[in-house]
Structures are given as structure tokens and as C-alpha cells.
A and B are shown apart, each in its own frame.
Chain A
Amino acid sequence: MTATHPEQDVQQYPAHFEPPHGSTWRLFFGPGLVRGAWMAGLGFLLGAGLVCLLRAWWGWDPVWNTEVVLVVGAMVVAPIFFLAGIGSFDYWLYYIAGRPTRPEDHSGHGAYSWKDYFRVNTDHKVIGIQYLVTTFVFFTVGGLMAMFFRAELAQPGLQFVDSQTFNGLVSVHATLMIFLFIIPAFAGLANFAVPLMLGAPDMAFPRLNALSFWLLPIAGIMFVASFLAPGGAFGAGWTGYAPLSEGQPLGQTFFNMGVQWAGASSIMTALNFLVTIITMRAPGMTFWRMPLLVWANFTTSLLVVLATPFIAGSQFFVMFDRIMHTNFFVPEGGGYVLGYQHIFWFYSHPAVYIMMLPGFGIVSEVISSMSRKPIFGYRLMALSLLGILVLGFSVWAHHMFVAGMADWLRVPMMITTLLIAIPTGIKVFSWIATLWRGRIHLTTPMLFALGFVTMFVIGGLSGIYLGSVPIDIAASDTYFIVAHIHYVLFGGSVFTIYAGVYYWFPKMTGRMYSERLGKWHFWLTFVSFNATFFPMHYIGLRGMPRRVSDYDAAFGDLNLFISTASFVLGASFVVFVYNMITSWVRGPIAESNPWHARTLEWQVSSPPPIFNFDEIPQVVGGPYEYGVPGAQHAILSPTKQAAAQEEVHA
């Protein structure tokens, strides 16, 4: 499972990192997972010691308060020490301490063996793969949780788990899928593709990029570890509404703090994308020549940077209420319960677009290159992303139509919500217009892209129902919502992630995946996805609320059907994993541009050279100029070409 680079690369960059083998001292004290492990332990002891010391000093009883010790020791100090241990801060600490630093040190850049994926690596291509593999691990965990509670829901009554465990499974499932799969999987794909598409050698801040990745497993482990906490995992839903979340057992703290780490990771990556896209475009790469994936990640990053602090705030307030006895959301103390929902959704609605816009970008790339046609209405496609960005901040309260908020707020929020259908509609119609008269190659990424377009239309249309306040009043908090979000986030986001992974697989690994298994994967997923989630619209409207471990026996047969279909959906993922692993190990060697794509990442070898381009390319045209005679997106070696022309003229 290694993506080794051609021999000459190694020789070209002889100063590459030497793994610290042989020397025990370097194993324990050199940057790496071993140092990270013992330093995390040390950090926990320091944090716990500090808490107990202070509590003893002030005479608080008991001295050992598990929740406070865990928050400070295990969820703040230990992760920071872990990051220091693996070497995330080495360069900055050297700089702060006045020790000699090597700004152009590339020892932590690139992957020469599989071990290089398990350390702090500054290569955006390695980080992209680290992101993807990590997120798919958490996708598996979150998916297994879904299988587990679908088994529970196959029959009315409680069979396998108690209600706290059920609530925990549902909550952790959603949290993992959102914070550890969809958001970071897009970050991973963009990490790999965006610098290449821009003609840049890497991201603007490679060390920050590495740090953002390593924050992610910390968050993921916290969410999963909450099951080990006394009282069980956090069970107030991924929305963690106060005051329920404030009275939850210890596990809730794992959510409060895990979100901070995942959020910090998102913000750092988004800043990095923004600076990279603004400052590191190759000469000639104007904004109107950027591929739509770059546009999508530009708008997404703006959303992340502006919105994510709000969820961080909402979770800190809940945690303060829990352990510091503040009264942010405690009505008896003057707190305002609906305040939580306003702050939470001010992030979490834009988050829906954070989970959608990068997918729009991926689908635009895939549909254009698989139809061998320019994207239809390129500028309007980019502008509609900006339209969604702006409108996306003005619709948060549509999640609160039945929450008891101020009545006058409902109609304005309904209007802005419905208006989002316009830019979204432009995108859908432009994709299908791109197909029109194209030369359509029905490869696996294209199947997922087309599956996305149709499923996302269903999700968007059920969104229109929910945008209308009176229908929402009837359908809110029911399985109709569960159906809607899965059409948007699974039929939408996850399908685009699959499309992206298949599309860039040959570029990432240098090998080709099995097209036959890819098609099996698509059709199994497509059919079982619909069989699982479409009936949920029905049971929701008929009267089954969401987030229940037990339900009216009248819904028994349909729930059994849904559960059975969901197991097939789970099984279809096995086909994907098998395809990915076997193809990565021994798939046929891929060409540099199997899709005849025009964007820059396809103009270099597969996998790309360690610094992407031998020479910074000169961009001379749009990214999708199919069918235009003589059109070019970029000149790859501008000085060489200029020299050649000089010769001709001479």
C-alpha cells in the first residue's frame, strides 16, 4: 500500500528524511508516534496534577473531579503534548527558542515508504491521502454504529441496547459522519488537488497543513472514546441541544471538546486554502480561469472561517454551564435556552454548505471531463457558489421553525431559505446542460456524479417542503428530516466524495482502480441507498418522530425493510474498500491523464513529482476548453517552450 515515487526523485532530493531506525534514543526522543504517545501520557499527568493541586490549594472538595481532570488533562494538555511529541511544533519551537532553523528544510516532505504516512508530513499530497484514509476509517466506525442502531430499529421495542446507548450510537454516528468524515474528506481531496490545479508546488503553509491534519484523529478518538465514559456516550444528538446536554453524563464533555479540535482543524485548513488560492496561483491563473473545484473550496473556506467559531462558542458555553456552573442556558439563572440553538445553527447551517460546496466542485470537474465538454455557464457556476455563501448565512433559523423563537423571524427565514433554491437550481441545470451533446464516458466517477445530481435533486426538493414553514411545522423532528438530510449528505456529499476518490485515485496512487468493481459498488450503493432512505419520508410524515429507540408497532414492517436495505448499503462499502486496497497494491499502472482532463493536476505524472511541477506553469486559458481547436489551459514548461521558439526564430 505504498505510493512510491520514481527512483530519480529520491536522487534529486537527497536530503530527504531518514527514519530514525537503529537508534533507541532517536526512537523515543525523535519526533514520531512513540514520542507522541509518551508525551501524551505525560501531558495528562501534568494536567491532572495541576487540577488536583489547584483544587487542594483552594480547599475544594473533592480534590479529584473526574470531569474537570478529563477536560484539562485528557482533552487539552494531553493532545497538545501529543502534537508536540509527533513533531508538529518542532520548527516553530526551534524558532521561538532561537535555535537554528532551516526554512527550506524538506526532510519532512513527501512519502518514500508507507511509514512516511504515519508522521508529520508537509507534502500536501501525502496530507491529502492521510486525510482520506483517516476519514474513511471513521466512516467505517460511524457506519457500523448505524448498522447497530438499524438492527435495534428493525423491530419495535428494545432488543439489543438500552436507550442511553441508543441515543449515544445515534449521536456519535452523526458526529463522526459530519466532523470526521464529510468535512475532512473534502479537505483531503482538496488538499491533494487544489495546489496542483493552481500550478503551485504546495499549500501556502505546509507545516500548518500538517498540524491541521493531526488535530483530526484527536477529535475522532474523543468522540469514539466517549463510549468508555461512565454513563455512556453523549446522547443529546449531534445537535447537543441545551438544557438536555447540560444534564447528560460525562460523555457529553467529550463532544464539547472534540468539536473544538475538529473545528480548529477545519479553520486552519480553510485559512490555508484561502491564502493558497489568493496568493499561489500560477502566472496567468486569474480567478476566472480557476477550475470550479478551486472556486468551491474558496467559498467553502470562507464559510468555515466565518462560521466555525460559533459552534466552538456554543460548546464552550455548554461546558462552562456543566463544569463551572455558569448560566448561559439555565433559565433559573437567567440563561436563554433558545440562545444555544441560534448560536449552534449559525454555524451548523453554513456547515451544510461546507459539506456540499466542495462536492459541487468535484462534480463539476467530473462531469466536464467525462462529457469532454466545457462546463456550461462557467461564470454563473462560480457566482452561484458565492450566492449560496451569502444566502447561507441568512437562513439558520429555518432549523427552529417549531423551536418557539420569535414569530416574526419565520417568514424572512423562509424566504431566504427558498431563495437558495435559485443558485442551487442554476448549478443542477448547468450540470445537465454540460451533459447535453457531450461524449459521455460512463466511468465509476461519472456514475457517482450523475447519481449525485439525481439524488441531490430529491434532497433539494424535500428541502423545499421543509423550507415552507407550515409544512415544516408538520414534518420537523420526524423521520422526514432524517430522509432529507441523508439525501443531501449521503446522496449528495458522500456520492461526490466517492466520485472524487475514484476520479483522483489514479493520480494519487499511480494505479488504476477496478472499473468493474467500481460499477458494482455504484449500483449496489445507489439501489440500497434509495431503499433505505426513501421510505423514511413516508414513516416520518405518517407520524414517526426521529431519534427514538422504540416506535409505534404500525411502522414495524417498513422499519424492518429499511434496516435490511441499510445492511446491503453497509455491504456495498466492503466492495469499495476491497477495490481501493487491492488496486492500490497491485492495480494496473495508471496513465498520467486517463480522463483526458484539462486541469493542471492531470498534466503531470501519476503520482505527481514531489514538488508537483519542474517549473511553475504559465496559464493561458480556461480550464475546460474541450472542442476548441488549439485551446490550451497552461504551458507546462514556459521557459523551455520560449527557448524552443527562440531557436525556431533564429
Chain B
Amino acid sequence: MVRKGIVQLVAIGVVIGIAVTLVAVLFQWLPTSASEEFDRIQDIYWFATVMSIVIFSLVAAVVVFSVWKWRVPPDDDAEGPPIHGHTGLEIVWTAVPAILVIVLGIVSAFVLSENGKASDNQLHVRVIAQQFAWKFEYGDYGKAESGELVLPVGRQAEFTMEAVDVLHSFWVPQFGQKMDAVPGIETKILVTPTRTGDFAVICAELCGLGHATMRAKARVVSQADFDKWIQDQRA
């Protein structure tokens, strides 16, 4: 009898697990990565997703199974068994989540540190954010500046953020990197583009009336195209 119940519970859990897994894989939840940093972030994303599917399926299965199995009519006066706890179980469900979140924490800290490592051949871009426009200065190439962000593929770019008026946030969804531009201090973020294409720089921190439209074009191009473009900017 007990064994039959366990089998039913597991079956419910598996059904819920499959359904949730389908939701996780049938839709493309993340934009296709265009940077090395986002590739690493996506690995943790999948780690967290597998963990979430298991935990959600477990909880949902117990709730559904219990209600299905032990629901009684409103006029039922009986009481359930006086189970006050179970030390072993309580230790398990303290320890297992602890291990899971610590592993996730270690993996995350590792990725964070990898995503913050400067490479030798960096491209330096100064990002100037003001209501409601972006400006990009290429200090490595004299006084080159542009309202459009152009990056060579495969070369790490270091963005140094500066805000003229209020907080803004530099975000290209396909790069997976984001950093606020803060008045009074400089902030930094690294992006190593992995594929060419057209993207958008989006302001992600509420900055006033034009916040929704504070966008700039971002293009990742080959090194040769980049060299040509930067020459045009200097001219």
C-alpha cells in the first residue's frame, strides 16, 4: 500500500518534471549569446534551471498527490496522525539545499571572476550616458567618438561608464553584461564579442521621460571593418 503510494507520487513528479522541462527547452528563453561572458553565464543559467525543475517538481508533486490522496469531505471530523516532525528528514532538507546553493555560489563566483579578467589586447571604450543618448569614445584611437557602438569581433572591450546627469545602465541583451553609469564615479564592465551582427544598447535603469527610447545601435564587425570604420571616425 505504502509502496503503491510512493510509485504514484513519483509518477506525478515525473509528469510535472517533464512538463516543466518542456517549458524550459521548447522556448528559447535566452537570446543567442554574442559574447564569451554570456556563454559562461548561460552555463550557470542551465545549472540553476535543472535545480529549479527538480525542486519545483518535488514540491508540486507532494502538494498534488496529498490533495488527491487525502482530501476529505467538508463534514469529516477526524484528525490526522500526530506527526510532529522527523529529525532525519529535517536534516536532509536543510543539508541538501545548503549543498546545492553553495555549489551554485562557487560556480557563480568562478564565472564572475572569469568575466572580470582583463586580456592583454583590450579595446578601451568610454561610455558617456546622458538623458537620453549614448556616446562612445575610443581613447585608443585619438579623439574618435560615435553615437553608435562598433566593436571588433573576438577582441575584449573594456567599457568605462560615465553618467552626466542621473543613473543609466548600459545593456546589450546578447552580451549578457550590464552596468550602471553613476554620476560621480566610474564603473567598468568587460565584453568579448564572439559573433558579428547588429544589436542594441538599451538603457536599463529608469532615467526619466525618455528612458524607454534611450537606445543606440551596436554593431560587431570584423577587425578589418572595424579598422576602416575607426579611420572614418577620426577623419
Tell me, in angstroms, the Cα distance from A499 to B78 when the chains sit together: 23
Name the residue of chain B whose CB is nearest to the CB of A624.
Answer: B84
Is A626 within 8 A of B82, CB to CB?
yes
Is B66 within 8 A of A548, CB to CB?
no
Distance to closest chain B CB from A18 (angstroms): 44
A625-B82 contact, Cβ under 8 Å, with A244-B167, A470-B111: yes
Is B101 within 8 A of A244, CB to CB?
no
Binary contact track B27-43/A, C-beta < 8 Å → 1, others 0: 10111000001101100
Given A428, A438, A552, which contacts B59 in the complex, CB threshold below 8 Å?
A428
B11 within 8 A of A: no
Is B80 within 8 A of A543, CB to CB?
no
A437-B70 contact, Cβ under 8 Å, with A244-B206, A407-B116, A541-B29: yes
Given A243, A419, A432, A541, which contacts B66 in the complex, CB threshold below 8 Å?
A432
Distance to closest chain A CB from B95 (angstroms): 9
Distance to closest chain A CB from B40 (angstroms): 7
Is A627 within 8 A of B82, CB to CB?
yes
Tell me, in angstroms, the Cα distance from A465 to B42 when the chains sit together: 11
Is B105 within 8 A of A415, CB to CB?
yes
Tell me, in angstroms, the Cα distance from A337 to B183 when the chains sit together: 7
A422-B66 contact, Cβ under 8 Å, with A243-B167, A411-B112, A477-B205: no
Tell me, in angstroms, the Cα distance from A425 to B100 when the chains sit together: 12
Is A464 within 8 A of B171, CB to CB?
no
Is A542 within 8 A of B31, CB to CB?
yes
B22 within 8 A of A: no
Tell me, in angstroms, the Cα distance from A537 to B27 when the chains sit together: 12
Chain B residues lying within 8 Å of A300, measured Cβ to Cβ, are none
Is A596 within 8 A of B77, CB to CB?
yes
Which B residues from 52 to 82 make CB contacts under 8 A with A? Answer: 52, 55-56, 59-60, 62-63, 66-67, 70-72, 74, 76-82
Chain A residues lying within 8 Å of B72, measured Cβ to Cβ, are 439-441
A461 within 8 A of B: yes
Chain A residues lying within 8 Å of B38, measured Cβ to Cβ, are 474
A606 within 8 A of B: no
A547-B171 contact, Cβ under 8 Å, with A374-B83, A538-B27: no
Q: Which bracket fits the contact residues of A?
A: 35 or more
A275 within 8 A of B: no
Chain A residues lying within 8 Å of B177, measured Cβ to Cβ, are 473-474
B10 within 8 A of A: no
Which B residues from 172 to 218 make CB contacts under 8 A with A? Answer: 173-174, 176-185, 187, 200, 202-213
Distance to closest chain B CB from A156 (angstroms): 10
B161 within 8 A of A: yes
Given B31, B80, B86, B97, which contacts A627 in the complex, CB threshold below 8 Å?
B80
Is A336 within 8 A of B80, CB to CB?
no
Name the residue of chain A whose CB is nearest to the CB of B27.
Answer: A538
Name the residue of chain A whose CB is nearest to the CB of B73.
Answer: A441
Chain A residues lying within 8 Å of B29, measured Cβ to Cβ, are 537-538, 541-542
Is A471 within 8 A of B108, CB to CB?
yes
A404-B76 contact, Cβ under 8 Å, with A374-B82, A453-B63, A549-B212: no
CB contacts between A and B, total, < 8 Å = 265
B165 within 8 A of A: yes
A469 within 8 A of B: yes
Is A626 within 8 A of B79, CB to CB?
yes
Given B45, B74, B90, B104, which contacts A377 in the complex, CB threshold below 8 Å?
B90
Is B109 within 8 A of A542, CB to CB?
no
Is A439 within 8 A of B79, CB to CB?
yes
Is A470 within 8 A of B108, CB to CB?
yes
Chain B residues lying within 8 Å of A625, measured Cβ to Cβ, are 82
A288 within 8 A of B: no
Is B51 within 8 A of A464, CB to CB?
yes
Given B52, B77, B105, B185, which contacts A414 in the complex, CB threshold below 8 Å?
B105
B98 within 8 A of A: yes
A225 within 8 A of B: no
Chain B residues lying within 8 Å of A436, measured Cβ to Cβ, are 62, 66, 83
A414-B109 contact, Cβ under 8 Å, with A425-B93, A470-B115, A549-B212: yes
Closest 7 A/B residue pairs (Cβ): A331-B184, A543-B173, A404-B187, A373-B80, A627-B82, A548-B212, A477-B204
Apart from A237-B206, A247-B166: 13 A-B pairs, beta carbons within 8 A: A247-B165, A374-B82, A376-B85, A404-B182, A411-B112, A432-B59, A435-B66, A440-B67, A458-B56, A470-B37, A471-B108, A541-B31, A543-B31
For this complex, 25 residue pairs linking A to B, each with C-beta atoms less than 8 Å apart, are A163-B210, A241-B167, A244-B207, A247-B165, A374-B83, A377-B90, A402-B180, A407-B116, A411-B109, A419-B101, A426-B90, A426-B93, A426-B94, A436-B66, A439-B70, A439-B79, A450-B67, A464-B51, A465-B45, A474-B176, A477-B178, A542-B29, A542-B173, A548-B211, A596-B79
Interface residues, chain A, with chain B CB atoms under 8 Å away: 162-164, 167, 235-237, 241, 243-244, 247, 331-332, 335-338, 371-374, 376-380, 402-404, 407, 410-411, 414-415, 418-419, 421-422, 425-426, 428-430, 432-433, 435-443, 450, 453-454, 457-458, 461, 464-465, 467-471, 473-474, 476-478, 537-538, 541-543, 545-552, 596, 625-628, 631
Interface residues, chain B, with chain A CB atoms under 8 Å away: 27, 29-31, 37-38, 40-41, 44-45, 48, 51-52, 55-56, 59-60, 62-63, 66-67, 70-72, 74, 76-86, 89-90, 93-94, 97-98, 101-102, 104-105, 107-109, 111-112, 115-116, 161, 165-167, 169, 171, 173-174, 176-185, 187, 200, 202-213
